[in-house]
A and B are shown apart, each in its own frame.
Chain A
Amino acid sequence: MGWADPKGMRSRMSAAADDIRADAGQPVIEVRDVTVRFGGVLALDGVSFDIRAGAILGLIGPNGAGKTTLFNCLSRLYTPSSGDIRLLGRTILRQPAHKMAGMGIGRTFQNVASFHNLTVRDNVRVGAHSASRSNVASDALRLPSARRSEREIDRAAQELIDWLELGEVADRLVAGLPFGWQKRVELARAMAAKPKLLLLDEPAGGLNHDEVQELGGLILKVRDEGDVTVLLVEHHMGLVMSVSDRVVVLNFGRKIAEGTPEEMQKHPEVISAYLGGGDE
């Protein structure tokens, strides 16, 4: 396990994170006693935590700990058996999955889920779907309202492309891009909806050492400049420990610890969960 802190990343983030902490009041997301049962299996057992505005929360745990289940609850693919999830004080559990983007929860996918046969620019434009309005009739007839909305989408997409340095591939199909680039496109696509909370599902998967370093920088950049709160579900310890403000550790569906990355690295239960054995 790479517990080591990749050089430079931590120091780069601290300054900006401190600014945000100063005015961080209300938590962006509140997870309250979330329990998920699949038949007889208890996938999540009364998990609670908050994420404060502008923070990056790392969610870690061994395989089968319930990270993905929790992630899917937050993106409304699963509904908890009990408990509540509130975004800025409002429960999200009564809305369907496709309303999450509009409510302010954006996400990326494990192993990338791009729209392969669209260009990078069109991927980002689809990302702006929830932040814009039109219907099939206004689009077919190119009514002024649709044209206005299209211009706004174009401008937002161009800004994101410039911001995340996707300019040189902007008009290429995503299908032919290297994996690392596709992740960047997914990030731009998620940010196009102007989310308040960004969910990242194992973004380091499939990347080499240098690419993980670059990804860490990218996550910090998005948080610092994009005015967004981040939940990072990740296996890669180096990445989690270097970019997270706080870390929540799950094991067998329960939260076993929460604290700063430094605290978690010394926490006996966390260490035993990762090294096997322990009290379970």
Chain B
Amino acid sequence: MDAAIQCGEGEIARFKLSLALLLGIFAVSSGGGEGNAAPTDVPPWRVDPNPSTYVPPARTDLLIRHATILDGAGRKIVDGDILLRDRKVVAVGEGLSNPGGVREVDARGRWVTPGIIDVHSHDGTYVQPLTKIDHDAGDFGEDSEMNAADEWIESGVNVQDPAFSRALEHGVTMIQILPGSSPIFGGHSVIVRPIPANSVAGMKVPGAPMGFKMSCGENPKEEGAETKRGPTSRSGVVAFTRQALSDARDYLEQWNNYRLGRGPKPRRDLKKEALAGILAGDTRVHIHCYRADDLAIYLAMAREFNFHITAFHHAVEAYKIPQLLHASGTCALVWGDWWGFKMEALDGVRANAPLLDRAGVCVGMHSDSPEAGQRLNLEAAKAIAAGRRAGIDIPAERAIRWTTSVPAAIIGLDKKVGTLAPGFGADVVLWSGDPFSVYSKADLVLIDGGIVFDRAKPHRDPVSDFELGRPTMDHRQ
């Protein structure tokens, strides 16, 4: 089994361990040692204030035949079949038999992969089109203070952003929307399906683990300097972060004491409870961070406060510290070719992903852009070329992990999606050709075993309300 999947599982193991520790404490409590009835409250950081109302698309069972299949877990089948039934992948192999009545698709010359997962998106918040109103007061992040830990980015998601349908048409089946990187603590992420819905709850993936955004380096310090509301240096940002984590540790201890019957119920504090969720191991931590020395400082902080950093996003210098990342089990989410646009991005190299992959570090592709987010496999293609220049050969079946099973592991859903294997959800893309080719298109996109995009259909594009009745957008209707 390859390193990235292992590291994903390692992370889940740690996640379970921290849950078990917490539950273990509760078990002692319910043993009645203190003589009080054990409180049954779920800690607030585990409560989703806006639960999913997602309804899977109409089910279509399919047997796709004679495709080149990249299963997302490192396997390539050249003349492969895949059977999708009852919203699940039932079988992947060669010469599968039709269990009876399942519609068959002849995919000769075409390729099949898991649905693409973009774990760094601002779709719905950095909306299209973006006007001065959004520039002055955008929904991509709360900038009134440096600690926006109490925010839930989903509260601001505009479901009519045309970016969602573009992503879907390009084979993206799952998106993590993150808050922006100006505050030090940006708040909670949300994991959605890029499908038409009237509210974000209708797009939201049920049962996804909580995710949380933090930022290091230039963005938060510049925000602090510009607004005079926060730290103006890297060290100041780190000190601010440590103080808040320290306060959250006290808050978590109050909660643990309460659960043990040793103290009063803590008063709700939306910021502290969000950070307590991180320290309790319940909330996955996504840190916007570029430079290798910054990454190292944050890994030290994670050791100090005993929490796990799920992934560094952007991580343009991750290739300089593969050993540190490998030892911590922290993943790096990288771009295909972005570099140089700010000081902390100067040392970005396109070979980042291949270098990390070779070193056994968990690495995936992310977009941070509604345009690049439609073409994450092409970002991977750029990295593949750079890897070849550096003497590292990354075959397609390995590279596809960067956009499927690795991001699935990063959002804690790698037992459900991101891999084509029996029992996994039927999030599948049928490509017109090699998914790393600039010429290939998504012919068919399935989410939970339902067809959500079919290139062969005349009125195939999901059109957002925004696009209706605008003459220059008519071709989409």
The judgment on whether A and B are partners is no
